[in-house]
Amino acid sequence: MNDDNLDLRFEDTVFVVEANGYERLSLWIKHCHQSSVEYTSGSPYKRYEWEQDNHGVWYQIGELAGLPICVSFFWNKIDRHRVLFYECTSRVYDLQVIDGWLKAHCNPTWDGNRRAHCDAMNFHHCLDAIDDLNGKK
Q: What is the pLDDT of residue 3?
A: 66
Task: Indicate the number of domains in the chain.
Answer: 1
Domain annotation covers residue 4: no
CA dist 73 to 6, 8, 135, 137, Å? 11, 12, 28, 29
| Side-chain half-sphere CA neighbours of 69 within 13 A | 15
Q: Which residues constitute the domain of residue 120?
A: 9-134
Domain annotation covers residue 3: no
The average confidence (pLDDT) of the chain is 89
Domain annotation covers residue 62: yes
Q: How do residues 43-100 score in pLDDT, each as one tens digit?
A: 566 788 899 887 899 999 999 999 999 999 999 999 999 999 999 999 999 999 999 9
Q: How do residues 19-55 score in pLDDT, each as one tens digit?
A: 999 999 999 888 887 776 665 555 566 788 899 887 8
Domain annotation covers residue 1: no
Single out the residue of 75, 47, 44, 73 nearest to residue 58, CA to CA.
73
Residue 121 reports pLDDT greater than 80: yes
Q: What is the pLDDT of residue 52?
A: 85
Strand boundaries in the chain, DSSP class E: 13-18, 50-64, 67-78, 81-88, 109-110, 114-115, 117-119
Domain annotation covers residue 73: yes
Domain annotation covers residue 121: yes
Question: Which residues share a beta bridge with 58?
Answer: 72
Domain annotation covers residue 100: yes
Domain annotation covers residue 28: yes
Separation of alpha carbons 135 and 63, rounded Å: 42
